[in-house]
Chains A and B, each alone.
Chain A
Amino acid sequence: MNPVFRPLRELAQAIRERRVSPVALAETFLDRLERLGPRYNALVTLTRDRALTEARRAEGEIAAGHWRGPLHGIPYGAKDLLATGGGIPTTWGAAPLRTQTFDADATVIRRLEAAGAVLVAKLSMVELAGGMGYRQPNAAFTGPGISPWGGAWSGGSSSGSGSAVGAGLVPFAIGSETWGSILSPAAYCGVTGLRPTYGRVSRHGAMALCWTLDKLGPLALTADDCGLVLDAIAGPDPHDPTATSRPYRYEASDIVGRRFRFGVVRDVAEPAEPPVRAAFEESLNVLRKIGTVEEVTLADLPYEAITRTILLSEAASAFEDMIESGTIAQLSAPEDRYQPYARDAILAKDYIKALRLRGLVVREADRVLSRVDALVAPGRPATPPPLDRDFGVLHRPSRDPMGAIGNLAGLPAVGVPNGFSTDGLPISLQFMGRAWEENTVLAAARAWQGITDWHLRRPPVD
């Protein structure tokens, strides 16, 4: 059995039945990471010793009849903002932090270890998760993230997590999202990404970019894979006061003939590029096979300005030392070396105003979402840009209102593949749900992937 590009359940079954050895599996993906990772600038650190230790342990436990569950013996990669002990560097993608280490693993890493998963790599990311305002793809000391589809940008900031899954270098990866950092690389690398509800997954041991927006979640080949990973990493954590005590169990069983209610925010695809708009319009026809599609309207609020004010303010505080000391001059993206200074111009009253307006937004989003199972929209408004593309002015009006609302309100969303442009670049679709409704959006995404095959397409990697 070739284990590359296999969904997690297939790998898990093969491991449990001892048709596939966790050690051989780890070696396969370590080899692929070492051989192909540099092609996509996906790899920061190969964790070979740790991986083989964990894989041997998994192999011994399974041989002894102790199977921990569907992630037991499965290799994965972690965005390099998740702390790992044992002397493994955690660089946050930033040149001045290349040698940074921590004494202990992040909670997510510990939970995956407890589930028997095998950490094979720390994966590249946009420096400081993009918090300094990068405006072009070359914004990490590992170079620009490259999508396995067409050599375009991988998206960010979880760039290595997206490209490593998309190129079959790991079966799944962990990323983080403050605003777009899971859904963007999922879209541009042609994979599935889950942004959980804010507070669903402990952030203890993860780099803080923006305390009230940061979330951790999986990128994988399918929505089902993402659910399996979320099941392992969700839950309360005394080290993270924002981690909810609400229990979470992934509900993988589909109700036969279930009909979904999908909402589409009026004109949501209007800012998208023509191929994305066309794919989205077509996807609505497909979605009508599994549910209803109705137009919804949202109150006219400055969603992007609210989210951006909070993000810029909190990031300026989170990285105050690097900014004030001038250490940012050592960052890779030229614009990251000076743009953060502009945040001194944000007044406290405007940050507080953004937090007050956030109350209106969360209620408005919940009002709309309480009447549907999910809002659907393009995962990204564009196909992956070329590596030399300037994104434009940092603070220009955003073309991502769904991302602004979803992250501001901390709502779960799944991004799934939804076709290709005529030049072979991936296009995505997102399902965004009410708070704590990961199982609903995952069910919708599974249903989508049950009637489409975009998630089964593979880039020419080998």
Chain B
Amino acid sequence: MSEPTGEPTDADLLFAFVRRRYAERLTAEQLDALKRSVDEVAGLAAALRAIRLRNADEPFQRFEVFRADA
């Protein structure tokens, strides 16, 4: 087992950003719960990043050009 390094994780840094934006609105209890939610968001990202895609795998969301007179 490795010793904790004390280095902040991605989730810690993301939470620092969220806290900076909203902490003044929240109680300590809400902040604790929010930290867990940020950890879970980081978990979602990790699950997505574990899947490798090809360069040609485009977003499944089509862009269409627009002309008002078309």
Contacts and interface: CB of A to CB of B under 8 A. Distances in A.
Given A346-B45, A395-B41, 14 more contacts: A302-B47, A302-B51, A309-B45, A335-B33, A338-B25, A339-B37, A341-B26, A341-B34, A346-B44, A350-B48, A359-B60, A360-B51, A362-B60, A393-B40
A345 B38 contact: yes
Contact of B14 (A302, A309, A345): A345
Contact of B40 (A326, A347, A395): A395
A335 B36 CA distance: 12
Interface of B: 11, 14-15, 17-18, 21-22, 25-26, 30, 33-34, 36-38, 40-45, 47-51, 53, 57-61
Q: What 8 pairs across the A-B complex have the smallest Cβ distances?
A: A395-B40, A342-B37, A355-B59, A305-B47, A345-B14, A359-B60, A302-B47, A358-B60
Contacts of B33: 335, 338-339
Given A345-B42, A360-B57, A338 B26 contact: yes
A329 B24 CA distance: 13
Contacts of A97: none
Interface in A385-402: 393-396
A395 B37 contact: yes
A353 interface: yes
A345 B60 contact: no
B22 A352 contact: no
9 contacts: A306-B48, A309-B45, A326-B25, A335-B33, A338-B34, A346-B41, A350-B49, A359-B57, A394-B37
B15 A345 contact: yes
A111 B53 CA distance: 43
Provide the main secondary structure of the chain A interface.
helix
Interface centre among A305, A345, A356, A357 (most CB of B within 10 A): A345
Interface centre among B37, B50, B59 (most CB of A within 10 A): B37
Contacts of B40: 342, 393-396
Contacts of B38: 342, 345
Given A302-B51, A359-B59, A345 B30 contact: no
Contact of A354 (B34, B36, B37, B48): B48
A308 interface: yes
Nearest to A343: B41
Nearest to B13: A345
Contact of A356 (B14, B18, B57): B57
A312 B41 contact: yes
B36 to A, nearest CB: 7
A393 B36 contact: yes
A301 interface: yes
Given A329-B25, A335-B33, A337-B30, A305 B61 contact: no
Contacts of B44: 305, 308-309, 312, 346, 350, 395
A357 B36 contact: no
Interface string A343-387: 111110010111111111010000000000000000000000000
Contact of A345 (B17, B26, B51, B58): B17
Given A326-B25, A355-B59, A356-B53, A342 B34 contact: yes
A47 interface: no
A356 B22 contact: no
Contact of B48 (A309, A312, A393, A394): A309
Contact of A341 (B22, B45, B50): B22
A89 B5 CA distance: 56
B22 to A, nearest CB: 5
Contact of A353 (B15, B41, B53): B53
B57 to A, nearest CB: 5
Nearest to A342: B37
B60 A356 contact: yes
A60 to B, nearest CB: 43
